[in-house]
Amino acid sequence: MSERITTADVVKVAKLARLDLDPAAIERTTAQLAGMLEHFADIDALDLGDVQPMNQPYPLVNVFRDDVIVAGLNRDEVLAAAPDAEDGRFRVPPILGLDS
C-alpha cells in the first residue's frame, strides 16, 4: 500500500472491470479510492508473516454431488428473459478486439 493510486491505475482497473468511466469519473474515483486506501494503512504495519490467510470461515473439505442428471431449465423460458436471442441461442453483437 506504499504508493498512491494514480489515474492510470484507475483507467486500467475500469477497463478490467468493463466500466466506462469518463475523465471526470476517473478523477473522482481516483480520489475516492486513494482516500479509502489511506484508511487501510492500519493493517500495513501489522506483522503478518506467520499468519495463514483465511479464505473461508468454516473448514469443510470434499463436498461432492453424484454424477446424476437432473432436468435443467426450460430453454424457452430462459431465452424469453434474454436481451436478445435467435435460433435457440443467445445473440450478441460482433466479438471484436480478440482476433486480428
Four-residue CA torsion sign, 54, 56, 60, 62: negative
Grid cell listed for 98: 480478440
One of 7, 8, 19, 27 touching another protein (CB under 8 A): 19
Dist. CA 81–CA 9, nearest whole Å:
36
Which residues in 36-95 contact another protein (CB under 8 A)? 36, 39-40, 42-44, 46, 48, 51-58, 60-70, 72-75, 77-79, 81-84, 86-95
Compute the least distance from the CB of residue 68 to another protein, in Å: 6
Contact between 96 and another protein by CB under 8 A: the answer reads yes
Indicate whether 24 belongs to the interface with another protein (CB under 8 A).
no
**Cβ at position 23, least distance to another protein in Å:** 14
Residues 11-29 as b or e (16 or more Cβ within 10 Å = b): eebeeeeeeebeeeebeeb
